[in-house]
């Protein structure tokens, strides 16, 4: 790609973690990187300017949702995705495959594509590899994803194998349909927690050849250990000179372990979803801001955090906002959570060159805690 390149500058000598740099037409992304999710072209409750202030380098938007509303042609007519949403940095668009299978009511699926009903108005729609690629070409993101079939968990072997077969065939068709040289196209490795299927899918996608490789279909109900075991089977197969993206992950514990396994990019709705639900990330764990313990607390959400919420407001005030149903509460909690995630990723990038990634739990004990942990 003419204006795009990926390079690895450092590797941690004690694990598979690596520090890199992905250059796109809309700016560079230092990796490992976390992408906030703006499903419909907006990170919920946060303006693009506020998003940039959290340290975010790149954001994600979704093909399925943007095609339903307002439509890719509308986005293109209004200047393309970057101008339309007011974000000048890099953007990645998911192909919509996961949403079709999780949100849409499936009418039929075959080797050619999927016919489904919109979750918005019940309209019958069709999405196939060529159409998913065309929509993403029209939207104009810097990184686009191949259309895939994400199998449920658990599922029988016949269903799993069929999903992997379709994913590989559809990936080849996406590459053939891809028309823009200023966009990277990533293939998506599927296969559930079946190591044989995962390795086979990865190898076949590599044979087709993509600009980067994602691991999809995790964080859908498997255990943390199953997720990491799967990554340890797949990541060593993926090309060392191309970015590796773990889709839909996750909790700080998952991010840390996945970086150690060699993953470069992540996305997840957790920072903003938790923020909207009065749940705040801190190095020591999660804070539940509706709890009585915060009512008279004059401390910031996190001492030393540079975010707007921590610099201006107390826990007591932010609790008040949630208890009063004020919109500002979710916004401030989301700003903090997004900043927390970016600071965690930044610190990991700093430690990798010296082989010190293993010290992260000292500064961020939350990376050793499961999702059930809450501080207060």
Question: Which are the catalytic amino acids?
Answer: 94, 267
Instruction: Report d(CA 187, CA 172) in Å as an integer.
Output: 9
User: In this structure, are residues 376 and 293 in contact, taking their beta carbons and an 8 Å threshold?
Assistant: yes
Q: Which of 44, 138, 129 is nearest to 95 (CA)?
A: 129
* Residue 29, phi-psi category: left (phi > 0), alpha (psi -120 to 50), beta (remainder): beta
Q: Kindly state the tokens that stand for 195.
A: 């190591």
Give Dmax over CA atoms of the chain in angstroms. Answer: 61
User: In this structure, are residues 18 and 156 in contact, taking their beta carbons and an 8 Å threshold?
Assistant: no
Buried b (16+ CB within 10 A) or exposed e, 27-63: eebebbbbbbbbbbbbbbbbebebbebbbbbbbbbbb
Q: What is the DSSP letter of 249?
A: B
Q: Which of 57, 5, 13 is nearest to 266 (CA)?
A: 57
Instruction: Report d(CA 191, CA 217) in Å as an integer.
Output: 7
- Strands 184-189 and 212-215 turn out to be parallel
**Vertex 223, ends 221 and 225: CA angle to 5°?**
150
- Strands 105-109 and 91-94 turn out to be unpaired
Instruction: Report d(CA 80, CA 77) in Å as an integer.
Output: 7
């Amino acid at each position: 790609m003419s204006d795009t390149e990926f390079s690895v500058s450092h590797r941690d000598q004690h694990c598979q973690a690596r520090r890199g740099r992905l250059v796109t037409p809309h700016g560079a992304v230092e990796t490992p990187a976390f992408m906030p999710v703006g499903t419909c072209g907006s990170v919920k409750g946060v303006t693009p300017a506020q998003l940039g202030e959290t340290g975010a380098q790149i954001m994600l938007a979704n093909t399925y949702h943007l095609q339903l509303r307002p439509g890719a042609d509308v986005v293109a007519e209004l200047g393309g995705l970057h101008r339309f949403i007011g974000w000048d940095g890099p953007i990645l668009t998911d192909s919509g495959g996961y949403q079709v299978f999780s949100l849409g009511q499936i009418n039929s699926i075959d080797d050619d594509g999927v016919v489904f009903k919109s979750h918005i108005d019940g309209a019958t729609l069709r999405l196939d590899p060529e159409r998913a690629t065309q929509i993403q070409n029209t939207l104009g993101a810097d990184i686009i994803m191949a259309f895939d079939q994400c199998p449920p968990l658990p599922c029988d072997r016949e269903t799993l194998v069929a999903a992997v077969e379709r994913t590989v065939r559809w990936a080849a068709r996406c590459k053939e349909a891809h028309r823009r040289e200023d966009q990277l196209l990533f293939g998506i490795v599927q296969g559930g927690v079946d190591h044989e299927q995962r390795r086979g899918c990865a190898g076949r996608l590599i044979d087709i050849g993509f600009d980067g490789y994602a691991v999809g279909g995790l964080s859908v109900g498997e255990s943390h250990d199953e997720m990491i075991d799967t990554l340890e089977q797949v990541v060593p197969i993926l090309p060392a000179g191309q970015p590796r993206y773990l889709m839909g992950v996750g909790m700080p514990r998952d991010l840390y372990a996945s970086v150690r396994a060699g993953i470069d990019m992540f996305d997840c709705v957790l920072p903003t979803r938790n923020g909207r639900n009065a749940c705040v990330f801190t190095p020591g764990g999660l804070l539940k801001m509706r709890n009585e313990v915060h009512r008279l607390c004059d401390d910031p959400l996190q001492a030393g955090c540079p975010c707007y919420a921590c610099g201006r407001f107390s826990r007591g005030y932010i609790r008040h906002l949630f208890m009063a149903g004020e919109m500002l509460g979710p916004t401030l909690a989301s700003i903090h959570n997004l900043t927390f995630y970016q600071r965690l990723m930044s610190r990991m990038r700093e430690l990798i060159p010296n082989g010190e990634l293993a010290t992260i739990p000292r500064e961020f004990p939350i990376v050793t805690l499961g999702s059930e942990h809450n501080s207060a």
